[in-house]
Amino acid sequence: MEKSLLEQGQKIYQRICVNCHGETGKGDGVSAGFLPVLPRDFTNCRFQRKRTDGELFYVIKFGSWPMPPMVPSISENEAWIVIPYIRTFCKN
C-alpha cells in the first residue's frame, strides 16, 4: 500500500472514526461510552480476517446498528481509502 494513501486514510479516520473507534482502533473512543454497544474493535484480527473490504465498505456507506452511515459525511472514495488504514490496526 502506498504510504500517501495510508496517510490519507489516517486523516479520514481521525476526522470521522476516532471519536467512537478510538486512536488505536480498540473501540474505546471518547464517544464509545455513550453508545448502546461498544464500537467495533479493529485490533481484533479474527474480525479483520473474516470481513472483506467490500463488507467494510458496505458498513461505512450504509451503517450497521448502532453505527450510522458515514456516506455522505465522507465520499465513497474516502470510504475505500480509510479501509486499508483500518486494516493496520490488526498486527498479526
Q: What is the DSSP letter of 46?
A: H
As a whole number of angstroms, the distance between CA 61 and CA 29 comes to: 20
pLDDT digits (tens, 9 = 90+) for 65-90: 889 999 999 999 999 999 999 999 99
Is CATH 1.10.760.10 correct for 3-87? Answer: yes
Report the 10 Å Cβ neighbour count for 59: 15
pLDDT digits (tens, 9 = 90+) for 24-50: 999 999 999 999 999 999 999 999 999
Residue 1 pLDDT greater than 70, yes or no = no
Residue 2 pLDDT greater than 80, yes or no = no
Segment 9-22 shows an average pLDDT of 98
pLDDT at 58: 98
Structural domain boundaries in the chain: 3-87
pLDDT at 50: 98
